[in-house]
């Protein structure tokens, strides 16, 4: 045994289904040895790690020929998934996504799962590393690569995530780099409103975050974060094409807290800000997000008014490396950059009176991606923005005054043309 939480070692085997694709073969079987003890101990020490199993890969090549797969998430829990899509458009990675067909637990099988943002499997292969995330009714299981042959499967306790910080509005920002002009210009949206808005994000890793994740794992980590962001767009019905560009920072976190790191990132007169400006120029990025090990919050960002001016000067956010991969903090902080706010009980939105998230406290309780945790019940987080026009379990996911999807739809055009 390694560490103080439940740990089993499993042997991973990827087997293709037969041509009829009517059943799936097991993905893992028990192993008697494991490595990468240092990384495993660090993962076990994370507050959000509820349980962890370790396995060894024998075949790690994802393929569109894999139609169904069984994934043991712990000793007594096996999920069966059917492929929905296979994305091989990027030269450096592939993404396999599937829905939930059944879950077997203690010899009991549950076989009715609705196709919803709470039930899915996402597997990403990049740089010979396999990573992913599984959601079963909002319960999250994270697949973390340890090396080319081994990985950890973590049962995530979402209630142990740090809180999301209250966003900073530019008028409240404590920075000497705030431009003196006060323009809030906008440009007409494209003639075809259905045309997706391309928004590129510089995804910058601090040296400490790079070490925690593993340099060899950064590409797979980035592609998974990008996939979760794209899933949010699809779940919300938005016409946005988000793309992440990973970059290495040479500026240490030092003693700077989360808010200080964000201020440094935004200020081009600081070493961190100058480096970010160069990276932003290199990738023609409209937005910048810093991946850090700071954990007083899951994330923090500027909440903007949708003007080109705001996007150019304040399109910055910071995310904790665990929250960005095991939670939905990146869509949350990008939502702030695009003008969205938390639920009305936990903040105000001076720019968009309808720009609030939504919480449902009935049974089962849930909340949209910008909403903070419910105070009296455990409400699972849905990777979707609030909207009265979309339903979850037959219930509207917003109201006329809680419609963050409308906010992003209004601001996406300026964001797409805001590159300095």
- 49 has a pLDDT exceeding 50: yes
Query: Which uninterrupted H or E stretch holds 300?
Result: strand 299-301
- The confidence band for 59, taking pLDDT boundaries of 50, 70 and 90, is low
- The confidence band for 211, taking pLDDT boundaries of 50, 70 and 90, is very high
The model's pLDDT over 154-165, given as tens digits with 9 standing for 90+, comes to 999 999 999 999
Question: Any idea which of 101-105, 178-182, 381-385 has the lowest mean pLDDT?
Answer: 178-182
Report the percent of the chain where pLDDT is more than 90.
69
Report the percent of the chain where pLDDT is more than 70.
85
Alpha helices in 46-135 (DSSP H): none
Instruction: Check residues 256 and 5 and name the one with the higher pLDDT.
Output: 256
Q: What is the pLDDT of residue 16?
A: 26
Question: Could you say which DSSP state residue 178 is in?
Answer: -
The model's pLDDT over 323-370, given as tens digits with 9 standing for 90+, comes to 998 889 999 999 999 999 999 998 899 999 999 999 999 999 999 999
Q: What is the pLDDT of residue 182?
A: 40
Q: What is the pLDDT of residue 223?
A: 95
Pairing type for strands 366-367 and 359-360 reads antiparallel
Q: Which residues pair with 99 in a beta bridge?
A: 82
- 103 has a pLDDT exceeding 90: yes
Pairing type for strands 120-126 and 93-105 reads antiparallel
- 36 has a pLDDT exceeding 60: yes
- The confidence band for 106, taking pLDDT boundaries of 50, 70 and 90, is confident
Instruction: Check residues 179 and 245 and name the one with the higher pLDDT.
Output: 245
- 30 has a pLDDT exceeding 60: no
User: Rounded CA gap, 349 and 367, in Å?
Assistant: 18
Q: What is the pLDDT of residue 172?
A: 60
Instruction: Check residues 229 and 41 and name the one with the higher pLDDT.
Output: 229
Phi/psi of residue 226, each to 5°?
Answer: -65, -40
**For residues 123 and 228, is the Cβ–Cβ distance under 8 A?**
no
- 290 has a pLDDT exceeding 60: yes
Which residues are CB-contacts of 337 (< 8 A; sequence separation ≥ 6)?
287, 301, 302, 303, 304, 311, 314, 315, 316, 317, 415
**For residues 51 and 5, is the Cβ–Cβ distance under 8 A?**
yes
Mean pLDDT of 280-305: 97
125-130-132 Cα angle (round to 5): 95
User: Rounded CA gap, 281 and 297, in Å?
Assistant: 28
- Out of 38-47, 81-90, 278-287, the most confident range is 278-287
Q: What is the pLDDT of residue 14?
A: 35
- 51 has a pLDDT exceeding 60: yes
Q: What is the pLDDT of residue 58?
A: 65
User: Rounded CA gap, 372 and 381, in Å?
Assistant: 9
**CA-wise closest residue to 342 among 311, 286, 385:** 385
pLDDT averaged over every residue in the chain: 86
Q: In what order do the strands lie in the sheet with 359-360?
A: 359-360, 366-367, 380-381
Q: What is the pLDDT of residue 112?
A: 78
- 8 has a pLDDT exceeding 80: no
- The confidence band for 183, taking pLDDT boundaries of 50, 70 and 90, is very low
């Amino acid at each position: 045994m390694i560490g103080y939480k439940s740990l089993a070692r499993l042997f991973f085997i990827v087997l293709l289904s037969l041509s009829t694709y009517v059943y799936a073969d097991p993905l893992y079987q028990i192993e008697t040895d494991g490595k990468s003890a240092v990384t495993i101990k660090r993962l076990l020490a994370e507050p959000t790690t509820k349980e962890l199993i370790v396995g060894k890969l024998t075949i790690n090549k994802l393929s569109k020929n894999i139609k169904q797969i069984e994934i043991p998430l712990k000793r007594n829990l096996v999920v069966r998934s059917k492929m929905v899509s296979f994305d091989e458009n990027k030269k450096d990675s592939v993404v396999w996504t599937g829905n939930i067909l059944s879950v077997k637990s203690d010899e009991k099988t549950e076989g009715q799962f609705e196709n919803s943002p709470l039930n899915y499997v996402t597997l990403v292969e990049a740089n010979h590393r396999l990573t992913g995330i599984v959601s079963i009714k909002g319960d999250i299981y994270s697949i973390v690569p340890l090396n080319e042959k081994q990985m950890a499967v973590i049962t995530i306790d979402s209630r142990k995530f740090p809180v999301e910080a209250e966003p900073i509005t530019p008028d409240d920002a404590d920075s000497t780099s705030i431009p003196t002009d006060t323009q809030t210009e906008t440009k007409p949206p494209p003639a075809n409103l259905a045309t997706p808005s391309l928004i590129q994000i510089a995804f910058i890793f601090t040296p400490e975050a790079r070490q925690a994740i593993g340099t060899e794992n950064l590409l797979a980590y980035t592609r998974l974060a990008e996939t979760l962001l794209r899933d949010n767009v699809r779940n919300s019905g938005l016409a946005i094409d988000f793309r992440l560009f990973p970059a290495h920072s040479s500026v240490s976190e030092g003693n700077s807290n989360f808010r200080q790191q964000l201020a440094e990132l935004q200020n081009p007169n600081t070493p961190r800000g100058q480096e970010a400006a160069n990276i932003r120029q290199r990738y023609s990025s409209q937005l910048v997000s810093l991946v850090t090990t700071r954990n007083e919050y899951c994330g923090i960002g500027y909440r903007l008014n949708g003007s080109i001016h705001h996007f150019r000067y304040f399109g910055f956010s910071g995310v904790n490396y665990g929250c960005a991969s095991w939670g939905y903090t990146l869509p949350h902080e990008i939502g702030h950059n695009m003008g969205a706010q938390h639920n009305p009980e936990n903040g105000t939105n001076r720019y968009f009176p309808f720009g609030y998230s939504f919480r449902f406290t009935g049974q089962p309780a849930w909340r949209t991606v910008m909403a903070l945790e419910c105070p009296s019940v455990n409400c699972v987080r849905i990777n979707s923005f609030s909207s009265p026009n979309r339903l979850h379990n037959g219930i509207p996911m917003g109201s006329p005054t809680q419609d963050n999807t409308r906010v992003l739809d209004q601001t996406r055009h300026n964001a797409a043309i805001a590159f300095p």
